[in-house]
Amino acid sequence: MKAHKLKDILNYILKEDDFIISDLLEAGNYNANEVIDYLKKGGKISSVSSQRECEICGKLAGSINYYTDGNWVWPEWITHYILDHRIKLPDGFIDHVKKDNLDQNLIQLIVNQDIEIELC
């Protein structure tokens, strides 16, 4: 069976040293509340206790657990960068936020590991 492809938001926002691409900061291309509401509808696909510390303000940004909407995956800590640093997010991701059309069946299949996924 072909793996279901999910886009990893980190491939769009992190540099090789694991820091956020600085041009993206304070360049938010969205309504933050709308994005945060959308992120809450995602399914959690990992369970780890590690946290990311924000390299900009030093606060704990949140856990490194991944969530998915069936098209993209993002880490829990992204909310800190959205709320406190207005990080610009990929247009393709924002398109999904605007459509607000999550496939909860697909999300459950991914969460339950009933289908194979591939991050790209």
CB of 23 to Zn ion, least distance (A): 17
CB of residue 35 to Zn ion, shortest distance in Å: 16
Q: How far is the CB of 87 from Zn ion (least distance, A)?
A: 10
Catalogue the long-range contacts made by 46-55 (C-beta closer than 8 Å, 24 or more residues apart).
51/77, 52/77, 54/80, 54/81, 54/84, 54/85, 55/19, 55/20
- Restricted to residues 66-85, the positions that interact with Zn ion (CB under 5 A) are 84
Instruction: Give the x/- contact pattern for Zn ion in 38-57, rule: CB under 5 A.
Output: ----------------x-xx
How long a stretch of residues is the chain? 120
